[in-house]
Structure 1
Amino acid sequence: MTTYLVTGGAGFVGSHLIDRLLDEGHSVLCVDNMVTGSRANIAHHLSNPKFEMMRHDVTFPLYVEVDAVFNLACPASPVSYQKDPVQTIKTSVLGAINILGLAKRLKCPVVQASTSEVYGSPERHPQDETYWGNVNPIGPRACYDEGKRAAETLFFDYRRQHNVDAKVVRIFNTYGPRMAVDDGRVVSNFIVQALKGEDITIYGDGTQTRSFCYVSDLVDGLVKTMEISRDFSGPVNIGNPAELSVHDLAEQIIDLTRSKSRLKTMPLPVDDPIKRKPDISIAREHLKWSPEVELEDGLIATVDYFRSLGM
């Protein structure tokens, strides 16, 4: 049995990761400042003696005793991270410093939840881990994009300078139950609008592409990254390489929900990527990982979740 620290554990991805770790018999300390996290996501664990919740902001040092750390703390949707951009970049950079300092003291492994946003609006397609990206350092998304890039730098510097067992996972678009209703991500937006019978808002002409990974597949990739030898550091892309247009996603969700919603186009936000697709060769080779959940199956489960909220 291992005691894991999961920062951002009350969030969408963090709560599913905690489910997995507890199911495997481990103990979990969930740390979250509850800015974007939800108590409802972890409420089913509150009576579990192997689960502990701590309200704490990772921009301040954390003094706990654990065996391994998953650092997921940071708002991840454009709506969330642009509400307070200064705090967003603080969470990425100061949070990484504090979590790496903890891992250095405890001599324990730590996995950083980075993002495909480090590639910016990519000029290479699909995106592999050797690509340095095309990021606007002064745009409205930079607080997240550059914050995560700086966090990656810190993880590799701590690895080189202090021999910390630090690993980096670059997460591509992920969806599933427990997504926030108002987080502004394309899957949740489309499902909520379809269930309400509202017009489905497409930003741009809808030809921009994304690749969607179901949350259980992502969690499996995070766990396998933690469990692999310390010789492997990443960065490693974790995402589904099946690519489709935003327009096609909207049509599929309309069909699944049997909605009468119509499509409505709006201007594309500044610096919004036109294409996004992971090259997962490294994950396949080193982690023996690849996604298993088909998009339709994952969307059905996600639609059922939003229906359960009374949408």
Structure 2
Amino acid sequence: MKTGQQTNQQSAEDAINSLRLLRAGAAPRRILVTGGAGFLGSHLCEKLLNQGHQVLCADNFTTGRHRNVAHLRGRPHFKVIRHDVTVPLAADVDEIYNLACPASPPHYQADPVQTMKTSVLGALNLLELAKARKAKIFQASTSEIYGDPHVHPQPESYWGNVNPVGPRSCYDEGKRCAETMFFDFHQQFGVEIKVARIFNTYGPNMRPDDGRVVSNFIVQALSGDDITIYGDGSQTRSFCFVDDLIDGFLRLMASPPSFTGPVNLGNPAEFTVRELAEQVISLTGSPSRIVHLPLPIDDPRQRRPDISIAKRELGWLPKIPLSSGLEQTITYFDRLLTSEARKLAETA
């Protein structure tokens, strides 16, 4: 918890940042971040605040967590509201970042109808708001729109190989439909849109029960449990640290109106899942063993972004290597798990 002195100091820094924007000829913007208490949303909210903007964080807290934005609550230009994007929202904003939707398979498969509604109705409601307010709007799309790809690495021109009736379809097809709606609003109503296709991302503020491979392996290693690999571990993934990804978001939103995307944002360095597990064991010094479980249905065999467009149009390239990002993420989870264990001990 921040002290009063720290809160006053942060408020002063926020005011200075807003003044810097004005002196640079750019007024502070009123920005809505849906899914703002989630993993990516919380990092984005903090970055926007540090730039001097006013930030409205909207989240239904299904997968988002209050603790992710607790350190931001005392700042004068930050407000949190509980809101589900499947319900229309009235807000006086200049920009919208739509990050609302569970992104890990266990969470989005837990309520597939709600996942589809969040992707499709949420996109519709926020596009209507952007249209009414003449606001620029960002869509957090996903590499999952490529499905289990037949093209490697995946360029934006690839239409994908997606099962429309499988257990992952609620998320994959929901995001594909949302992209369609964004481009229809852009072409029919002139709404300024930015669409990012996000590849595997990791870092602090992930949930311990997220169900994605990086968080799974780190939590298992820190707990001394077996590290569970689905399949033989030869399937590949590309892992982008969250700071690099947020930089990509901001560059995309600052790009000319003529550049809408979709644009791949992810780290093109490719690792097998087994290589990731071995790195986590090495960095944590864990005694965990690697065990194998059956591969889930429709799990992609390969996933790696072609980021040629991001490099050319945004000047964006990930900078943080996997080992460095893992160290920061392990530190976060170690503190989180220690804190949760202490609370359990105090209540026992």
Deviations 1:183-203 (A, max 9, x none): 100000000000111100000
Match of 1:78 in 2: 105
Partner AA of 1:120 in structure 2: G
What is the deviation of 1:87?
A: 0.1
Match of 2:274 in 1: 247
2:206 partner SS: coil
Partner AA of 1:231 in structure 2: S
Deviations 1:228-260 (A, max 9, x none): 111000000000000000000000000000001
Match of 1:140 in 2: 167
Which segments of structure 1 move beyond 4 Å, counting only runs of 4 or more? none
Deviations 1:245-276 (A, max 9, x none): 00000000000000010000000000000000
Deviations 1:134-192 (A, max 9, x none): 00000000000000000000000000000000110000000000100001000000000
Structure 2 counterparts to residues 128-167 of structure 1, below 5 A: 128-167=155-194
Q: Distance in 2 between matches of 1:237 and 1:310?
A: 33
Partner AA of 1:86 in structure 2: V
Partner AA of 1:164 in structure 2: V
Match of 1:170 in 2: 197
1:15 aligns to 2:42 (yes or no): yes
Q: Distance in 2 between matches of 1:229 and 1:99?
A: 21
What is the deviation of 1:310?
A: 2.7
One of 270, 291, 303 as aligned partner of 2:330 = 303
1:114 aligns to 2:141 (yes or no): yes
* TM-score where L is the length of structure 1: 0.99
Q: Distance in 2 between matches of 1:25 and 1:212?
A: 30
Greater relative contact order (Cα < 8 A, sep 6+): 1
Query: What is the root-mean-square deviation in Å for CA atoms of aligned residues?
Result: 0.5
What is the deviation of 1:298?
A: 0.2
1:191 aligns to 2:218 (yes or no): yes
Q: Distance in 2 between matches of 1:198 and 1:57?
A: 36
Higher-Rg member (1/2) = 2
1:68 aligns to 2:79 (yes or no): no
* Equivalent residue pairs, number: 311
Structure 2 counterparts to residues 254-265 of structure 1, below 5 A: 254-265=281-292
What is the deviation of 1:116?
A: 0.1
Match of 2:25 in 1: none
Match of 2:126 in 1: 99
Deviations 1:40-79 (A, max 9, x none): 0000011111000110100010101011000000000001
Match of 2:30 in 1: 3
Deviations 1:70-107 (A, max 9, x none): 00000000011000000000000000000000000011
What is the deviation of 1:19?
A: 0.9
What is the deviation of 1:283?
A: 0.2
Structure 2 counterparts to residues 24-103 of structure 1, below 5 A: 24-103=51-130
- Structure that is richer in helix per residue: 2
One of 194, 199, 211 as aligned partner of 2:238 = 211
1:222 aligns to 2:249 (yes or no): yes
2:96 partner SS: strand
Q: Which runs of 5+ in 1 are unaligned?
A: none
Q: Identity across aligned pairs (percent)? A: 62
2:221 partner SS: helix
1:231 aligns to 2:258 (yes or no): yes
One of 304, 307, 310 as aligned partner of 1:280 = 307
Q: Which runs of 5+ in 2 are unaligned?
A: 1-27, 339-348
Partner AA of 1:205 in structure 2: D
2:194 partner SS: strand
Partner AA of 1:5 in structure 2: L
2:162 partner SS: coil
One of 208, 222, 228 as aligned partner of 1:201 = 228
Partner AA of 2:171 in structure 1: Y
